[in-house]
Amino acid sequence: MERSDDGQVEWQLERLLDAVLTIGSDLDLHTVLHTIIQTATESVHATYGALGVLDEAGDRLIEFVTIGIDGEAYAAIGQLPQGHGILGLLIAEPKPLRLPDLTQHPASYGFPPNHPPMTSFLGAPIAIRGHVFGNIYLCDKVGGGEFTPDDEAFVVNLASVASLAIENARLHARVAELATFEDRERIARDLHDTVIQRLFAVGLSLQATQRLVDDPIVSSRLVTAVDDLDTTVRDIRAAIFELQVAHRSGPSVRQQLLDLAAQSAPALGFDPVIRFDGPIDAAVDPSLAEELLAVLREALTNIARHAQATRAEVGVGVRDQRLTLVVADDGIGYAPERAHGRGIGNQRTRAQRLDGEFTVVGTSPGTEVRWAVPIRYADR
């Protein structure tokens, strides 16, 4: 049933009030962002909606929360928008933008392959204390036609509410982070002062016992046990170092990798397993982390688009001044004749540029991608 203009405005005001109560009570940032764009999309009757989060410099998009595109279509599009064309215009000039046909605008950049066609457009920035956090993008008014001035006013008001909710969620995350740092320091002290000392004591006791044993089999097992304890002590020391440096530098590389794996789950249809070996956060600086994340993103996108897999495992390790990434899936397997696009080439180029190696091989079943580079590049 069609609403009158007055009825539509009244309904949107009710939606805005609901949004204030809903997003104002949630403290998880990702949930807040999803609620904001879902509310905007439904309230102005848009087919597609997205909330793009900008990097700290405000130059490009680093996160994209979408409504209206399913997992299969999301995977088919591939790389997320970086902020070109109309999206770039809203970044460069952070003010509301309403277009009857975005493809006819001079700044239109076009759509990548497999992207659904879009026509009408409505966008608005979300600003926090004068700094633009991100933008709301809405496309294709349901039933055709253009977005109205009332739609624009609603989205602008929602953006104002969103800025307060986002700041609240970020402050809450910061408080939780500070509490986590205190926990990390306490855990690190306990590991060093208690656990390692006990392991040392057990190791020394086993070494003393081994000298008294005549049975070669028992002696060999004791030697193996001592070696295992030494390995455990090294792993715990690495963990202590990670705990202590995590709050002294930038964002955790481990956490960024885990976040990327979680973001890929909808397109994959399952949660990829990720395992770490060695002092990842301590050894990998932001520039090298950016390369690592790009390679993993491309590998997971390829699995989602081509592998027909039901499982994927990611291994990230630092050993002997070398960073290694291994991504394995149980899909249909890699065949060069089926490889299209530039994904494999990009991964290989990133490795070669850092004097590293890249290989991709079909396994039985599935595919294994291996990317390895020297750690010395992390210090530049």
What residue ranges do the domains of the chain occupy?
Answer: 5-174, 177-245, 253-379
pTM (2 decimals)?
0.46
Cis before 336 (ω within 30) = no
Which CATH fold would you assign to the domain 253-379?
Heat Shock Protein 90 (3.30.565)
Q: Among residues 317, 374, 369, which one has the least CA distance to residue 345?
A: 369
Amino acid at 115: H
Q: What is the pLDDT of residue 143?
A: 87
Q: What is the pLDDT of residue 236?
A: 72
Q: What is the pLDDT of residue 2?
A: 42
Q: Are 254 and 280 in contact (CB under 8 A)?
A: yes
Q: What is the pLDDT of residue 210?
A: 78
Q: Are 67 and 49 in contact (CB under 8 A)?
A: yes
- How does pLDDT run along the chain (380 residues), one tens digit per residue? 344 455 665 666 666 656 655 555 555 677 778 888 888 898 899 999 988 888 767 667 777 788 887 666 666 666 666 666 788 788 888 889 999 998 888 877 767 677 788 889 999 988 877 778 888 999 999 988 899 998 998 888 888 877 777 777 666 666 565 556 666 666 767 777 777 777 777 778 888 887 887 888 888 888 888 887 777 777 777 666 666 555 545 567 888 898 888 888 888 888 888 888 877 877 888 889 889 999 999 999 889 888 888 999 999 988 888 999 999 999 888 776 555 556 677 888 888 888 999 998 887 788 999 999 998 643 33
CATH of domain 5-174: 3.30.450.40
Q: Establish whether domains 5-174 and 253-379 are of one fold.
A: no
Question: What residues contact residue 89 under an 8 Å CB cut-off, 6+ apart?
Answer: 97, 105, 107
Question: What residues contact residue 262 under an 8 Å CB cut-off, 6+ apart?
Answer: 271
> How many angstroms separate the CA atoms of 304 and 260, rounded?
14
Question: What residues contact residue 314 under an 8 Å CB cut-off, 6+ apart?
Answer: 257, 261, 272, 273, 274, 275, 296, 300, 325, 326, 327
Could you read off the pLDDT of 143-186 as tens digits, one per residue? Answer: 888 999 989 988 888 888 777 777 776 666 665 655 566 666 66
> How many angstroms separate the CA atoms of 13 and 125, rounded?
20
Q: ∠97-82-16 over CA atoms, to 5°?
A: 40
